[in-house]
Amino acid sequence: MNDLHIYNSISKKKEKFTPIHKGAVGMYVCGPTVYSNVHLGNCRTFLSFDLVFRYLKHLGYKVRYVRNITDAGHLENDGESGDDPILKKARLEQLEPMEVVQKYTVDFHTTMAKFNALPPSIEPTATGHIYEQIHIVEKIIEEGFAYERNGSVYFDVLKFNETNDYGKLSGRKLEDMIANTRELAAQSDKKNPQDFALWKKAEPQHIMRWPSPWSDGFPGWHLECTAMSTKYLGNNFDIHGGGMDLKFPHHECEIAQAEACNNTSPVNYWMHANMLTLNGKKMSKSTGNFILPDQMFTGNNDILSKPFSPTVTKFFMYQAHYRSILDFSSDALEASEKGFNRLMEAHRILLNLDSSDDKSTIDIEAWRKSCYDAMNDDFNSPILIAHLFESIKFVNALKEGKETISKVDLELFKKTMHDFLFEVLGLEDNTSDNSQDSEKLSAAVELLIELRNEARADKDFALSDKIRDELAAKGIQLNDGKKGTTFSLN
RNA sequence: GGCAUCGUGGCCGAGUGGCUAGGCUCAGCUCUGCAAAAGCUGCUACAGCGGUUCGAGUCCGCUCGAUGCCUCCA
């Protein structure tokens, strides 16, 4: 079916992808914490995994894609006085915590829809899986890898590390971590600073709380992902993804929890998407160094020279590999937009091409293979896009009759282009919508083109240039070609 | 301080040790009444220093610089 290789963060190597169950893939991706609008950096990660999801499906796999919504309680810091960002926001906006969660979950969904990202197969919430999380804590205690203190339960990292390897994902050694611990005077219930909370007792003012065998409280941050991934995908599943910044401690803790609980390594392929930077620094909610998707789409921001559509933004992101840091700038986006428009124009020309020959003078099969080779090499979308650009040369040569193509090859060409542009990359050609309004506009502009051509025939260039320039000023550009004049909207 | 990643031509950005990535910009040409659009052609770079090798952007070492994680973050 394929020769897909995936870079596995835990082995730091590209490995041939072999799913646990033939023909099916289980994939879990850490979703957003819904206490504010998702910013563009958040979106990049989800779009990276949308590409993975789409390509796996395109290859014919039956994919169960689980992406959680974190709607409860992890703490801003691990100290006793930690604040839950959702609660904090609820106070700030004078809303019930679940109103905050609802508001930003909706925002997340509408934003991802604008990017034409596919919804996951299952989108579970932390608050919907309290029972499962409590159950895991009980099991970890039973296995002897957790202890209870004053109503809270902590994972015993040192104990775990005696029999397992804590730090194998992030490449850390526990002894180094201990050596580098800055002794913060905070009076903690933890035995060791490296331990992390599985269950936290709620302070009286903490609204989001659930009963448990240890206290009225809330689950630790890392726990929900273990609970929900294993519930829906099994104790051992194929792919776990997330942002690079979650590698440590979040994913490390997930491995520890799952191994402590189920005595098996939870994930076969760990994938980490790299950061989107702004001014050379990671986009981040807490530092304020970010741009919101809607600010991009409307142009309502101080960073960019003009608005950019969701599909252009996505195309820009896919021109870099998901494991590379990508810096965000107006120049880079404008370059992408021009390239994107050229690609879409070529695709429209391709759709109107006919086969006039039995023989092909271009090797579509080889080109098609190079597209798959690119994606099979750890989802290398920039290489794929380079090949798509290469095909523009074919399209133009065919259009001008410099090359020929057989009927079979032409169909294959069209299908391959369509598949990669729209199914795999999930782009949208929004430059040519066929709404009724655009048909009326088209009729009007066609009339002006006709009048202009009459003026040109009469050598009345003052008039013909006026029509051309005035339309251009309105964002309607006339394109004079050999076969007549067409127009495009800017 | 610890762990890790990265440093590619004017800009963005791929690169499995040996063959032109690609996009944007720019220049020339074709087309055009002139333009624009489109097309074609051109632009050989890999932070620095040393090493391995017949051969290194690609491997190793050092130096410089940047970033990420080590506290919530995609």
**What pLDDT digit, counting tens, does each position of A454-482 carry?**
999 999 999 999 999 999 888 888 988 87
**What pLDDT digit, counting tens, does each position of A163-194 carry?**
999 999 998 888 888 887 655 545 578 898 89
Task: Look at residue A407 in the predicted model and tell me its pLDDT.
Answer: 93
One-character DSSP codes across A6-38: EEETTTTEEEE---SSTTEEEEEE---B-SS--
Task: Look at residue A343 in the predicted model and tell me its pLDDT.
Answer: 94
Task: Look at residue A433 in the predicted model and tell me its pLDDT.
Answer: 57
Q: What are phi and psi of A20, to 5 degrees?
A: -65, -45
Q: What are phi and psi of A439, to 5 degrees?
A: -70, -40
Task: Look at residue A93 in the predicted model and tell me its pLDDT.
Answer: 84
Task: Look at residue A82 in the predicted model and tell me its pLDDT.
Answer: 56
Q: Domain ranges for chain A, please list them.
A: 13-273, 278-424, 436-489
A225 assigned ligand-binding residue: yes
Q: Which nucleotides of B are covered by protein (CB under 7 A)?
A: 1-5, 11-15, 21-25, 31-41, 66-74
Residue A79 has pLDDT above 70, yes or no: no
Whole-number average pLDDT of chain A: 91
Task: Look at residue A357 in the predicted model and tell me its pLDDT.
Answer: 74
β-sheet bridge partners, residue A125: A69
Distance A189 CA to B74 C1' (A): 30
Task: Look at residue A76 in the predicted model and tell me its pLDDT.
Answer: 46
Task: Please state the rounded mean pLDDT for residues A283-300.
Answer: 92
CA distance from start to end of chain A: 42
A403 assigned ligand-binding residue: no
A347 assigned ligand-binding residue: no
Share of chain A above pLDDT 70, in %: 95
Asked whether strand B has any atom less than 7 Å from the CB of A329, the reply is: yes
CB A28 within 8 A of CB A66: yes
CA A137 to chain centre: 31
Task: Look at residue A489 in the predicted model and tell me its pLDDT.
Answer: 80
The ipTM, to two decimals, is: 0.95
Residues of chain A (155-184) having a beta carbon less than 7 angstroms from strand B:
170-173, 176-177, 180
Distance A10 CA to B46 C1' (A): 29
Euclidean distance between CA atoms A44 and A115, whole angstroms: 10
Peptide bond into A307 cis (omega under 30): no
Residues of chain A (187-206) having a beta carbon less than 7 angstroms from strand B:
193
Share of chain A above pLDDT 90, in %: 73
* Structure-block tokens of residue A127: 């608050």
Using 50, 70 and 90 to split pLDDT, how confident is the model at A401? confident
Task: Please state the rounded mean pLDDT for residues A326-348.
Answer: 92
Distance A397 CA to B42 C1' (A): 20
Instruction: Provide the sign of the torsion angle of the four alpha carbons A231, A233, A237, A241, taken in this order.
Output: negative
Count of Cβ atoms closer than 10 Å to residue A288 Cβ: 7
Residues of chain A (289-328) having a beta carbon less than 7 angstroms from strand B:
290, 319-321, 324-327
Task: Look at residue A223 in the predicted model and tell me its pLDDT.
Answer: 95
Task: Please state the rounded mean pLDDT for residues A292-305.
Answer: 92
**What pLDDT digit, counting tens, does each position of A421-433 carry?**
999 999 998 765 5
Using 50, 70 and 90 to split pLDDT, how confident is the model at A378? very high
**What pLDDT digit, counting tens, does each position of A202-246 carry?**
988 888 899 999 999 999 989 999 999 999 999 999 999 999 999
Poorest-pLDDT segment among A56-65, A406-415, A469-478: A469-478
Task: Please state the rounded mean pLDDT for residues A365-370.
Answer: 93
Residues 6+ apart with CB under 8 A from A109: A119
Task: Look at residue A277 in the predicted model and tell me its pLDDT.
Answer: 95
Q: Where are the alpha helices (DSSP H) in A277-358?
A: 293-298, 310-318, 330-351
CB A116 within 8 A of CB A428: yes
CATH domain A13-273 topology:
Rossmann fold (3.40.50)
Using 50, 70 and 90 to split pLDDT, how confident is the model at A77? very low
CATH number of the A278-424 domain: 1.20.120.640
Euclidean distance between CA atoms A197 and A220, whole angstroms: 5
Task: Please state the rounded mean pLDDT for residues A323-348.
Answer: 93
CA A65 to chain centre: 13
